[in-house]
Amino acid sequence: MCSIRTRLRHSVNQRAPFGALAVVAPCDCRLSGPDNGYARNDRCRCRDLGALVKSAVDSASEVRSPRAGRSRRAWITGSVVGAVLLALLGGSLVYTERSSFCPACHEMQPYYTAWQASGHASEAQCVDCHVDAGIIAHLAHKPTALKEVWDHFTKDNRFPNYSVAVPDGRCVRCHPKVVKKIGARFDHALHEKKGRCQDCHAITGHLVTLEALRTAGILKEGAGMPAIPTGATPSTAAGHKKVVCQQCHDQAKMKCSQCHQAPHDDRGECSDCHKTGEKFVFVHPSTAVDCASCHKKPAKHPATTASCTTCHSGGGKSWAFVHPKSTKCADCHKAPANHYGTDCTRCHKTTVPFANATLNHPRTAEHSYRSFACVKCHPSGYATASCTCHGGRPPSGD
């Protein structure tokens, strides 16, 4: 027992590793000697200093463990959340690139329906032809697609009828081996140097008619139309009616390029490569002549050169407008039964393609089997696979 006079309460201080914790241990000892050393008696609570330090370190570890546990849990939680977000991003990228997803936000239902009936439906998605290859290109396209989604909800959802260019590089991704000859009289190698795949295979992916666009309510009439009419629509030239071309134009002196815009670089006159379709308004310059250019009218033939104004001169007081010079009376007014026509073809039918032709063109910009048979432009010996969707099989539903 330490005497009351000499009993002290002192502290043994031991700093924990890294200076993180100071351990204070109480002890009852008796002061002995001038060096103020501590002498341990039988009942002193002091213990071995090494054991005391070990106890302090263990205590420090117990103090720090809650913070370390929280950090570890935060790291695990962040990793899981990041993995989930990455999976969602990848999944959404794959899902939004399916053709079935595109019509949800883009005005393209007729194109999607036509694609389903095409030879591409089982082999290619929309993005395969309309977006460059690679994850970078696909991600870079997303802002453009998102802008179209914004337009879908905020702007007029009608658009002009125009084609989107498809670079050849996208075609050869799926068709690396271009077939040089398939029973045809030409070699693809020549076309590869001078034209694009799309020039001849424009309707392979999807064939969409103007009527389908109108039915879907997404066609902006008259905007961005080509120089020649498409489908069964009249010419885009204002004021044109169903009139005979030679009434205003000397066809023998005309070139195709005066009415038609070539989709490719200048390679000479169109008729050097392209034949005339059955329903074309006239046979091009090589044979663009009137009947009277070759056939003389019989001597006893009734007069046919007179026009309405030969006998009916002057305009009536009740005329609502002054007629343009290019318009004939007969264009609007039906001649009496006892009147003769002023054009040979009014009475004499002919087997040539330009019989009674008018300015209502068929769809010539797109070589469609719906307008006329392929053999009209592709005679025996010329392949028609590009026109009839791979080997002569027309799309279903035709």
Asked whether residue 9 carries a pLDDT value surpassing 70, the answer given is no
Higher pLDDT, 20 or 341: 341
Q: Tokens 């050869």 — which residue?
A: 172
pLDDT by residue (tens digit) across 319-350? 655 666 666 776 677 766 666 666 666 666 55
The H-or-E segment that residue 64 falls in is helix 49-96
DSSP 215: H
Sheet of strand 7-15: strand arrangement: 7-15, 22-32, 37-39
How far out from the chain centre does Cα 161 lie?
13
Higher pLDDT, 269 or 200: 200
Asked whether residue 272 carries a pLDDT value surpassing 60, the answer given is yes
Q: Any residues with CB less than 8 A from the CB of 237 and at least 6 apart, and which? A: none
Q: How confident is the model at residue 54 (pLDDT cuts 50, 70, 90)?
A: low
Average pLDDT rounded to a whole number, residues 188-198: 72
Distance separating alpha carbons of residues 327 and 346, to the nearest angstrom: 17
Higher pLDDT, 142 or 345: 142
Q: Report the percentage of the chain scoring pLDDT > 70.
A: 36
Distance separating alpha carbons of residues 44 and 54, to the nearest angstrom: 20
- Extract long-range pairs of 184-191: CB within 8 Å, 24+ residues apart: 184/381, 184/382, 184/383, 185/381, 185/382, 186/382
Where do the structural domains in the chain lie, given as residue ranges?
A: 7-72, 229-294+341-364
Largest separation between any pair of C-alpha atoms in the chain: 164
Q: What is the pLDDT of residue 117?
A: 83
Joined tokens for residue 99:
């053709």
Higher pLDDT, 275 or 93: 93
DSSP 117-129: TSTTTTT--HHHH
Give, in degrees to the nearest 5, the angle at Cα 315 between 309 and 321.
120
Distance separating alpha carbons of residues 115 and 24, to the nearest angstrom: 83
pLDDT by residue (tens digit) across 352-375? 444 444 443 333 333 433 344 555
Q: How confident is the model at residue 259 (pLDDT cuts 50, 70, 90)?
A: low
C-beta of residue 114 within 8 angstroms of C-beta of residue 208: yes
Closest CA to 270 of 278, 280, 260: 260
Lowest mean pLDDT among 93-107, 171-185, 219-233: 219-233
Q: What is the pLDDT of residue 5?
A: 38
Distance separating alpha carbons of residues 173 and 137, to the nearest angstrom: 15
Q: What is the pLDDT of residue 218?
A: 82
Q: What is the pLDDT of residue 96?
A: 81
Average pLDDT rounded to a whole number, residues 259-274: 65
Report the chain's mean pLDDT, rounded to a whole number: 63
Asked whether residue 285 carries a pLDDT value surpassing 60, the answer given is no
Q: How confident is the model at residue 89 (pLDDT cuts 50, 70, 90)?
A: confident
The H-or-E segment that residue 141 falls in is helix 135-154
Beta-sheet strands, E only, within 33-121? 37-39
Distance separating alpha carbons of residues 398 and 395, to the nearest angstrom: 6
Of 2-11, 75-84, 90-99, 327-336, the range with the highest mean pLDDT is 75-84
Asked whether residue 152 carries a pLDDT value surpassing 70, the answer given is yes
Q: What is the pLDDT of residue 209?
A: 77
Average pLDDT rounded to a whole number, residues 233-248: 46
Asked whether residue 99 carries a pLDDT value surpassing 60, the answer given is yes
Asked whether residue 83 carries a pLDDT value surpassing 60, the answer given is yes
Asked whether residue 309 carries a pLDDT value surpassing 50, the answer given is yes
